[in-house]
A and B are shown apart, each in its own frame.
Chain A
Amino acid sequence: MSAEIRTSDGELLSVKLRKVERRRRTTAFLLAAPLLFFIVFAYVIPIFQMLGRSVDNVQMNEFLSETHEVMQIWDGTEMPGEDVTSTFFYELKGLVEEKNHGKIATRLNYEKGGFTSLIKKTARKLKDFDENGNFLDQFINVHKKWGDIEYWLALKRGTDAYHFRKYLTTFDYEQKFDGSIERIPEKKRINVTLWLRTIFVAAGVTFCCFLLAYPISHLLSVLPTRYSNLLMICVLLPFWTSLLVRTSSWMVLLQKQGVLNDTLVSLGIVADEGRLELMYNMTGTFIAMTQILLPFMVLPLYSVMKTIPPSLMRAATSMGATPFLAFRKIYFPLTYAGISAGSILVFVLSIGYYITPALVGGAKGTLISNRIAYHMQQSLDWSLATAMAAVLLVAVLIVYWLYNKIVGIDNMRLG
């Protein structure tokens, strides 16, 4: 057994060291704790709560719990029996008394259009029902839609506590009432088009940003400080202006009677009748988004280029490389870290963009985020909105994962 080393106050050195180490770790944790709590409570938990809404239908299930239960026995091939219709009648009556029938009307309307007015017309007539009579006939008397079995089938599945149908909708599929999954009719297919368009725009903008940012960043990194600072301010200027102001300025510049077209016409480059269509199409989206996101590409590139010693290029040239070869073999590979950092930043940011494309993109300016915003703000179908948002989140995570596989996250340098 080795001799035990003790400190001056008689404690074992190993114990003392562990104590000190523990204290240090606790302090470090305590310093980081506020941020951690903030992120968990203000960010992670709300996100998961929102995402939960995409499958959560518990409230409907509670409102119509008994109807839901008796409907489980009903096979859905013929019109429902009196057990179902009478249970539904009494539950609906209770809901009307508590003024909750409007809520089920809105939610059932997502399952099948027409439910809003159906529930409300029925609610007004409930007091005229003869409780000894045939309920189904009386429902049909109130509104002929109750004679359509699909409304009952919609009621059955609309009261499930959890469902995954919104994720099907996200990809333009639907579950028929017989359980089969099919693509929705062609005239209503919209989401897949928008997913593809969103990815196309994000990739295109990333590429445009790269093309424009590379030379600027190089210039920034080789210029003497007093010039490069000025240039840097020009690059950062858009950061200090509100997004809406920047987008509106582009509208002023790009429109048919705008500054750019006027200049081109007065210079005689284009005819007055042949003014360029620069806005309300893809061109406008690309121009405006590229400008807005450019700094996110310039900064990582610049910070990487700044660290490349100029002597490397001189060495390559002195050994007989043409300037192009030296650039391709030496300089360019050294900037990979900056390129990849900038690309991932711009790509992830542009995948969630929607204000700018909506304003300058015209009919083709709708991206998937616009649909999310629409379902959040207008249709109030929050479960569909969160299903889409969840898919978007997964898409971004996949990009990140691929990036880590191909480039390695450790190689990313932001500055």
Chain B
Amino acid sequence: MLRLTKIMSLAALLVAPTMATAAEVNVVSWGGAYTESQKLGYGDPYQEKSGVQVNWIDYSGGLSEIKAQVESGAITWDIIDVYARDTIIGCDEGLFVEFDFDNDFPAGVNGMKASDDFFAPMPSDCAVGNILYSWNYAYNTDNINFDGSYPDSMEDFFNPSKYPGVRSLYSSAMSNLEFALVADGVPGADVYDYMEENGIDRALDKLSELCNDPNGGCIFWSAGAQPPEQLVSGEAIMATGWNGRHFNAIVNEGSPMKMVWDGQILDYEYFVLVKGGPNQAEAMEALKYFTSSEGLAGSAKHIAYAPFRISSLDIIMADEPWFNSPQAGAVEIMPHMPTAPANTKNYVLMNPEWYADNNTDINDAWEAWKANL
């Protein structure tokens, strides 16, 4: 027994120093080119400035992991990068810290208070805006099937007789329903009202037409890096995806691809702070810097997502060419932003509340549709 006590106290001695290391913050995000842009844009600068170590952890979305951490009392995450829908659900479940927005977050460099400087109101009290990104589609310009004419509308994506070949779609309903309705002639602004009134059958029928067409056909992607890969490998001739990933493939990797902005879905991405996380106080400080005007502008140096703050755009415009490609050098980024005027002629604004409300019904119908393809 005595020996056991000795061993245990020795073990405690060995463990204790590691628990008292320098402050650190664990940030969870989507990986790939996106996390890289966050790390270079504001993670590393903050680490240098404050001496707090910023650790980046990859995940593929969803709240199950953090829910499990909270329930088991072993929380290891501090900050999570989430969809709007998940800020709503997580805030409701009491997983995240609620902000006192204008007190917690600094005013912009233009002097506007935080709540005015951010493009749009937050979907929940636990969310702080990060980027605006777009769901759009891209095609492989080398593809022989195009015969000199190139697609330039959402209708073209759903027209396999004009542009024969396999399409790659997101593996959940999100984005596909909207694209289908836009292609079928519903104006971008009315998409969710239409589905609230009439359900999602019309969208699914339109998708069935495309996927069952002998000239068409569908494959599905679930990770953001997949669509450009599938386009380059020829597995698909057109693929929906996130504009930053497409842009990365075109500019940094020189892939023969082009994006089509017609019918794009403009979507927001947010940070949340985990309630009772291991370094909650440090994490709050880090979050303030990440979402400051400079912080958000910093990530746009490395990926083509629009910063959530208006004042960050001022910083970028004053210093174009802002984008910093390791391969292609400096590139003007403003025309490639999802919010650029040329790209927003016909667009859908993502409605997370509609998804939160109808989650179960949409998903069941979507999976049933997919299973019977």
Count of chain B residues with Cβ under 8 Å from any Cβ of A? 41
Separation of A360 and B285 alpha carbons in the complex (Å): 43
| B residues in contact with A381, CB < 8 Å | 360
Q: How far is the CA of A5 from the CA of B356 in the complex (A)?
A: 81
> Does A379 lie within 8 Å of B363, measured CB to CB?
yes
Are B220 and A362 closer than 8 Å at their CB atoms? yes
B71 to chain A, nearest CB (A): 10
CB of A220 to closest CB in B, whole Å:
37
Interface centre among B65, B67, B353, B357 (most CB of A within 10 A): B357
Interface string of B183-205 (1 = CB under 8 A from A): 00000000000000000010010
A193 CB within 8 Å of chain B: yes
Is the Cβ of B222 less than 8 Å from the Cβ of A358? yes
Whether A380 pairs with B67 at a CB distance below 8 angstroms is: yes
In the complex the two chains form, what is the Cα distance from A279 to B233 in whole Å? Answer: 13
A380-B360 contact given A103-B93, A189-B368, A363-B218, CB 8 Å threshold = no
Instruction: Determine the chain A residues whose CB is within 8 A of the CB of B222 once the complex forms.
Output: 358
Q: Determine the chain A residues whose CB is within 8 A of the CB of B93 once the complex forms.
A: 102-103, 106, 380
Residues of A within 8 A of B371 (CB): 190, 193-194, 197, 363-364, 366
Interface membership of A110, Cβ < 8 A: yes
- Residues of chain A contacted by B94 (CB below 8 angstroms): 99-100, 102-103
Contact (Cβ within 8 A) B360 A109:
yes
Instruction: List chain B residues, Cβ under 8 A from A376.
Output: 64
CB-CB < 8 A to A117: which residues of B? 353, 356-357
Q: Once bound together, how far apart are the Cα atoms of A369 and B243, in whole Å?
A: 31
A378: chain B residues within 8 A (beta carbon): 61-62, 64, 172, 363
Looking at the assembled complex, report how far the CB atom of A98 sits from the nearest CB atom of chain B, in whole angstroms: 10
**Which chain A residues lie closer than 8 Å to B67 at the CB level?**
380
Q: Do B234 and A109 touch across chains, with their CB atoms under 8 A apart? A: no
Question: Is B218 a contact of A190 with CB atoms below 8 Å?
Answer: no
Kindly identify which residue among A109, A110, A197, A377 contacts B64, using a CB–CB cutoff of 8 Å.
A377
By secondary structure, the B interface counts as: helix
Does B63 interact with chain A (Cβ within 8 Å)? Answer: yes
List of B residues within 8 angstroms of A256 by Cβ: 233-235
The A-B contact count (CB < 8 A) is 107
Using a CB-CB cutoff of 8 Å, which residues 120-164 of chain A contact chain B?
A: 120
B219→A374 contact, CB < 8 A: no
Cα distance A116–B93 when bound, in Å?
A: 12
Question: Of residues 347 to 373 in B, which have CB atoms within 8 Å of A's CB atoms?
Answer: 353, 356-361, 363-365, 367-373
| A354 interface hit (Cβ, 8 Å) | no
In chain A, residues 255-310, which have Cβ atoms closer than 8 Å to a Cβ of chain B?
255-258, 279-280
For residue A50, give the distance in angstroms from its CB to the closest CB of chain B: 11
Q: Is B211 an interface residue (CB 8 A)?
A: yes
A378 to B59, CA, bound (A): 13
Q: Which of A101, A115, A184, A363 contacts B220 (CB 8 A)?
A: A363
Find residues 59-90 in chain B having any chain A CB closer than 8 Å to their own CB.
Answer: 61-65, 67, 88-89
Interface membership of B58, Cβ < 8 A:
no
| Closest beta carbon of chain B to A43's beta carbon, Å | 16
Residue A68 is within 8 A (CB to CB) of chain B in the complex: no
- Contact: B92 with A106, CB < 8 Å? yes
> Given A106-B93, A371-B367, A362 and B361 touching (CB < 8 A)?
no
Q: Does B91 contact A (CB under 8 A)?
A: yes
Q: Tell me which residues across on chain B come within 8 A of A366, comparing CB atoms.
A: 367, 370-371
Question: Is A323 at the interface (CB under 8 A from chain B)?
Answer: no
How far is the CB of B7 from the nearest CB of chain A, in Å? 17
Tell yes or no: A188 within 8 A of B by CB. Answer: yes
Q: Which residues of A contact B (CB under 8 A)?
A: 99-103, 105-106, 109-110, 113-117, 120, 184, 187-190, 193-194, 197, 255-258, 279-280, 358, 362-364, 366, 371, 374, 376-381
User: What are 22 contact pairs spanning A and B, CB under 8 A?
Assistant: A99-B98, A102-B93, A102-B94, A103-B94, A110-B360, A113-B357, A116-B88, A184-B364, A187-B201, A187-B204, A187-B368, A188-B364, A190-B368, A255-B233, A257-B234, A279-B235, A362-B220, A363-B373, A378-B61, A378-B62, A378-B64, A381-B360
Residues of B with Cβ closer than 8 Å to A?
A: 61-65, 67, 88-89, 91-94, 98, 172, 201, 204, 211, 218-220, 222, 233-235, 353, 356-361, 363-365, 367-373
Question: Which A-B residue pairs are the 4 nearest by beta carbons?
Answer: A102-B92, A377-B64, A190-B368, A377-B62
